[in-house]
A and B are shown apart, each in its own frame.
Chain A
Amino acid sequence: MANLQQTLRATRNTYYSCSVRQIDTLPMNESIISEFQSCVGPRNVLARPEDLVLYEYDGSVDRARPELVLFPSSTVEVVRLVKLAVKYDIPIVGRGAGTGLSGGALPRGGGIMIAFGRMNRILEVDYENRRAVVQPGVVNFDLTRAVEHAGYYFAPDPSSQKSCTIGGNVSENSGGPHTLAYGVTSNHVTGLELVLPDGEVKRIGGKLAEPFGYDLCGLFVGSEGTLALVTEITAKLSMKPEAVKTLLAIFETVDDATETVTDMTARAITPAACEMIDGWTLCAIEDYVHAGFPRDCGAILLIEVEGIAEAVAGQSLGIAEICKAHKAREVRTARDDKERELLWKGRKTAFGALGRLAPSNYVLDAVIPRSKLPQALRRVLEIGKESGLQIGNIFHAGDGNLHPLVLFDPRDRSQFERAVRAAEDIVRYCVQIGGALTGEHGVGMEKSELMTLMFSDADFALMRRVHGQFNPTGLLNPGKIFPMGKGCGETRVRVSPLQHAPVPA
C-alpha cells in the first residue's frame, strides 16, 4: 500500500479529543541509541530522520514517527531490545510490513519500533500434520509460495498478501476475500512464541489444534500488539481444492447486486468468496489493470466457488440463477486460470487504482449484518453525497464487511475534515444497525475513540485488567484499542524520555 501519495497525507493528530504529540525530530540521546545498536548491531538500527520518516505511516490516515527503528534477527535480540526499552521506560511498537490500515503499527506516543522484516524465515513445514512454523516477518504469500508445489496454501489472503507479514496478520487478525469460507487469521494459528513486555519469552499452543487450558492463541491473535510481541507462529496449512470457478456477475444498479448477496445468504449458498465493486470504482480499476471489467454498469459481484468438481458445478449454477433473478445483465465464468487471476488482480489492486484519482484516500472497514447490505450501501452513497466527496465501494459482500473508500486531497483542510467525518458517520451507522467497528483491519488508533459505540465501561474495565496482566507498564503499543477520550491517563499513553518537544508543523 505504501506509495508516494501516502507521504502527502495529513496528520490528524489533533482530530481526536485527546491529542497525541507528533514527533517530528529525532532526539539525539546518543548513549541510549548506542546501547540499542549494541543489541542488534549498528547496521540494524535506523536513527536518521530521513530514514525514520519512512516508518511514520502505515496504510491508514494516521502518522506517528518512531525515534529508532530496530531490525532484530532472532527472539534473543528482541528480548534484549525489550529489556533495554523497559530500562529506559521507552514505548515499544512492533511492525511487520506497515500495510495495516488502522494505525496499529504506529508509535502513537513515540518510542522505538521493532521491525520484524529480518525475521523472515520459514522454520519448518510439516505436511503430515499440515502446519508451518514461521518467523513473524515472513510475507503472507511467501508461505503459500513455499508450499503450493505440494498442494497446500495459507488461507488468510488480505489484499496486501504479497507484502504484508504473517506477524502483522496475527496482530490484527487479518482477513481477506476468502475469509467468507475459511475464517480470519485466528482460525489458522495454533501456536505462538511471545515476548512479553518484561522480556520474558513464552510459548502458547503448538501444533495441536486444540489448547490444553484456555484458548490463549484465541486471545493473543488480534490483540493488536498490545499484550506481547509475536516472534514465532505455528500456522495451519490448507489443502488446495480440486476445482475453483470464478464468476463475474454484472448488474445495472448497486441495489440489484446487494440484494443478490442478501438472497444468496438467505438461500444458504456460501461461496468461498463474494466481492462487490461499484461501477465507479470499476472504471478506475479497468483504467489501471485492464481486467476486462465493464465500464457502464452499476456494480459487479466477483464470486468464487471451490471444492470437488461436482459441488462447484452445482453451486455455480445456483449462483448464476440467483444473479439472473436479480436482473444481472450478464454472468461470466472465468475460462481459465489466467482470466481468473486477472479478475482477482483487479480486485486486489483496487486501492492502488483509486490512488491515481485523488491525492489521498481513506479505506474504511466496518461490518454489518448481511441482510442489511442494500440499506447500508444506500446510506454510504448518501453520506458520500452529503460530504461532497467521492466514495468508492469495493468490499467483502458475502460476510457484510464494507470497505468504503473516501477520496480526498489532504492539502485541503476542509476536504480532510469532511473525509474523516464521512468515515465516522459510516462506521457509526454500521454499528447502529447491528454491525461492528472493524472486520479485519483492527481498531488501532483509527477507531480507539469509537470503541465506546460498542463497549461499556464494564467491558473496558475487563479489557484493561487483561491488558494490565500482560502489559502492566503500558509500554507495549500504547494508545491502541482503548479510547483515550475519557482522561488519557486511564490507558497510559507513554511519552518517551527520548522525545524532544515537537516542532510545530
Chain B
Amino acid sequence: MSPLLASSLASRLESVVGPEYVHSTQNELEKYQVDGATPAVALQPEAPEQAAEIIRIAVEEKLSIIPCGSRSALAIGNLPARYDLALDMTRISGIAHYDPGDLTISVNCGTHLAELAQILAEKNQFLPLAVPFFARATVGGAIASGLDSPLRHSYGTPRDFLIGAEFIDGTGAQAKSGGRVVKNVTGYDFHKLLYGSHGSLAVITRLNFRTFPLPPSRRGFLASFADETAALAFVNALTASFLTPTVLEVMSPEFARLFLEEQSPVASLRLDSQAWTVCVGFEGTSEVCERYSRDLAGLARTAAAQNAVIIHDAQFLAMLEILREAPASMRSTAEQSIVFRFATLPAQLPDLLRALRSFANSSWMPPAVLIRGASVVYLALLPREADESALKQVAYFCNSVGSLRGKLEFHPWLLFCPREWKSALNFSAQTPVDLDLHRRIKKAFDPSGTFAPGRFVGGI
C-alpha cells in the first residue's frame, strides 16, 4: 500500500470496488502514470455507482482523480497539478442499447472502439470515429481526448453525432444530457462539453451515438503534386466543386517518406522525393464512384498533378488506417518526436503552412505534415536527438508559433513531446480568450476541483 494512502481510506476504497480492483503496488501504478506522475492508487469500478462512490470519497478526502480508459492518449494534456487516484473505467463496458432500425447506439464508456465497430458492422453500420490508437482506445477515452478522425470531412466530429451522455459530475452525482433520439433539444447540451474535455469536467460512463450505414463501396483517389501550392490548388478546386468527398488529406514529402512508402498503391504513384500527396475518399454506388473518379482526374490534371491512381475497398481502408493513426505514428516514429495540431481557416491554411514550415526548417528539422480537411494541420518535428540543442530548436519553433498570434487565425495544440520537455516548452500555457467562462463551466461541473487538475487548457 502506498504511503500516500491511509489504511482507513484504502479499506473504504476496497469496500467499494473489491480488493482485487484496488491497485497500489509500484508495478501496477506505473501503468497509470501521467507525464511521469504516479497516482497513489488505481481503481477499477465495475459499475457507475461504484465510480460515483469513489468520487464522493475523493471529494471528502480532497483527493484528485484522473479518469482513464485504455490510457492510449493520456500523454495529451498539460502536466497534472495533482494526481492521487487513477479511475480506470475499462470494466464498465459493453453495449447498453442498440437499435439498428433507428441508427442509434448507446455504449458504456469502457467499450473498445474496435469491438464497437465489429458490432455495428454486423448490422452494416459504422461510427465515423476513426481516431488514433484505434485498436486499443475505448469509446469514453476517444470522446474525452477530443482526437479527430479523417472522416470528419464529411461526417463531422462527435459534436455532430454524439446525441447523449451519462456521466458522474464532481459532486459524485450521476447525471445525463441529451437522449437516444437523433433530434433533441431538451435541456442543456452537456455532452457537447464533454467532447475534448480531457476528464476535467466529469467521468463519462455511457455515450449515445447516431450511427451511419456502411456505404455500398468506398474508394480513394491518390494524386501527387510537385509542391504544396499545386496540392492546395487541387484541394481548393475540389472544395469549390459539387463533390462531397468523405476524406480529404494532404501529406508532405516527409510524411510520405515516413509512412507511405511501403504501401503498394502509393508505390504505383512513383513519388519523387519532393512530392506532396493528396488522398480523397469517396463512397456510394458504382455510378457515383465513377463520377468522382472522372471529376477528380479532371481536377487533378488542371492542378498539374504528377501522377494519380484510384484505390478500391481494401486498399482504401489500408490508406484510411494510415491516416487515422497518423498522429500516433508521428509520435512513435522517434522517441523525441514532437507532434502539434493546428486548426485554422481554409483561406489562411497556405500562410499558416508556409510559416510553420519555415520555422521548422530554420531549426533544421524537416517536419512531417498532414493536412486534414483543409483546416487541420498535424505537424511532427523530428529532431535526431533529444539533447539540449534540440530542445532549444523546438522552443524556438514554439515561440515563433506564438508570434503568429494576431496575424493568422488558428488554434495550436502540443499533442506529444518528450515528457521532460513539456514544462520547458510551456506551450500548454496557451489560454482560451474566454478562460473566465471556461472556469465557470469547470466550477459548475466539478466544484471541488477533483477532476484532472491542471490538465486542461488554461491550467483548468
Contacts and interface: CB of A to CB of B under 8 A. Distances in A.
Contact of B441 (A311, A371, A401, A466): A466
B246 interface: no
B291 A215 contact: no
Interface stretch (B264-272, B282-290, B310-318, B354-362): B282-290
Nearest to B410: A208
Contact of A215 (B102, B181, B196, B288): B196
A92 to B, nearest CB: 19
B180 interface: yes
A216 B434 contact: yes
Contact of A461 (B173, B343, B438): B173
A462 B291 contact: no
Nearest to B458: A213
B346 A208 contact: no
Contact of B101 (A211, A265, A455, A468): A265
Contacts of A183: 156, 160
Contacts, number: 228
Contacts of A209: 343, 375
B288 A310 contact: yes
A223 B435 CA distance: 20
B411 A208 contact: yes
Contacts of A307: 244
Contacts of B104: 369
Contacts of B435: 213
Contacts of A187: 156, 159-160
Given A173-B185, A367-B181, A451-B186, A465 B193 contact: no
A426 to B, nearest CB: 15
- Size category of the B interface is 35 or more
Contact of A440 (B183, B214, B430): B183
A489 interface: no
B188 A466 contact: yes
A442 B411 CA distance: 32
A462 B409 contact: no
Contacts of A328: none
Interface string A383-414: 00000000000001001110000000000000
Nearest to B457: A213
A128 interface: yes
A258 B185 CA distance: 23
Nearest to B162: A218
A368 interface: yes
A378 interface: no
Interface string A413-448: 000000000000000000000111111111100010
A454 B187 contact: yes
Nearest to B244: A307
Interface string B171-208: 10111110111111111111011011100010000000
Interface string B399-434: 000000000011100000000000000000010111
A325 interface: no
Nearest to B161: A183
Interface of A: 126, 128-130, 172-173, 175, 179, 183-184, 186-187, 202-204, 206-216, 218-219, 221-223, 239, 241-242, 262, 265-266, 268, 270, 307-311, 313-314, 367-371, 396, 399-401, 434-443, 447, 451, 454-456, 458-459, 461-463, 465-466, 468-470, 481
17 contacts: A173-B189, A183-B156, A184-B185, A187-B159, A212-B432, A214-B196, A215-B195, A268-B212, A308-B243, A436-B181, A440-B183, A454-B179, A454-B187, A456-B176, A458-B173, A462-B175, A463-B188
Interface of B: 99-104, 124-125, 156-157, 159-160, 169, 171, 173-177, 179-190, 192-193, 195-197, 201, 212-214, 242-244, 284-285, 287-288, 290-291, 343-347, 375-376, 409-411, 430, 432-438, 440-441, 443-445, 447, 456-458
6 tightest A-B CB contacts, nearest first: A268-B213, A218-B192, A242-B242, A371-B101, A128-B347, A458-B173
Given A216-B193, A216-B437, A219-B441, 18 more contacts: A129-B346, A210-B376, A212-B343, A213-B434, A214-B193, A215-B193, A215-B195, A223-B188, A242-B242, A308-B244, A309-B291, A314-B287, A400-B102, A400-B182, A435-B181, A436-B184, A451-B186, A481-B188
